[in-house]
Structure 1
């Protein structure tokens, strides 16, 4: 049972990391362009160019994945990898 629980925990960690990555990317770009905070928030929830922003957000999963591998938490790392693959497949389907 702990095996499945760890994979689910890793999956949610991976999804949350992607969302944080998208939001962080939007904040950085918004500050660079001099946008207002409301415009940055609206862009974060916008679906335009979401696939490009999500691909950058997925990059945050890489160090998280290796962190769990180094801590001998392979099942949680599997969940992070599963979340990364799922996000990739969803955006691949969205492109078609």
Structure 2
């Protein structure tokens, strides 16, 4: 049981890391805000959109874990996506 919880937690952390990486890459290269921090972007009504676009990196991550039959980690990534959807709606 604890191994399953650990694997789901690893999946959650992978989802948050992939979304952070995707949001960073989007803000740096697409928006062109090279000097702006993420907290400054949240004040300008871009926070939810950036989180949503950043979460697109989780799709290949789920596919990768499903191909390697790491079911619990894939469940954690999907749970992380659900949490990120709620956060992006609040922000």
Normalised by the shorter chain, which TM-score bucket? 0.7 to 0.9
RMSD: 1.5
Q: What's 2:24 paired with? A: 23
Q: What's 1:90 paired with? A: 87
**Residue 49 of structure 2 contacts residue 88 of structure 2 at CA under 8 Å; is this kept in 1?**
no
Consecutive unaligned residues in structure 2, runs of 5 or more: none
**Residue 8 of structure 2 contacts residue 75 of structure 2 at CA under 8 Å; is this kept in 1?**
yes
Q: What's 1:63 paired with? A: 60
User: Which residue, out of 30, 39, 45, partners 1:45?
Assistant: 39
User: Which residue, out of 63, 75, 79, partners 2:76?
Assistant: 79
Q: Which one has the largest radius of gyration?
A: 1
Shift in Å at residue 27 of structure 1? 1.1
Runs of 4 or more off by more than 6 Å in structure 1? Answer: none
Aligned residues: 87
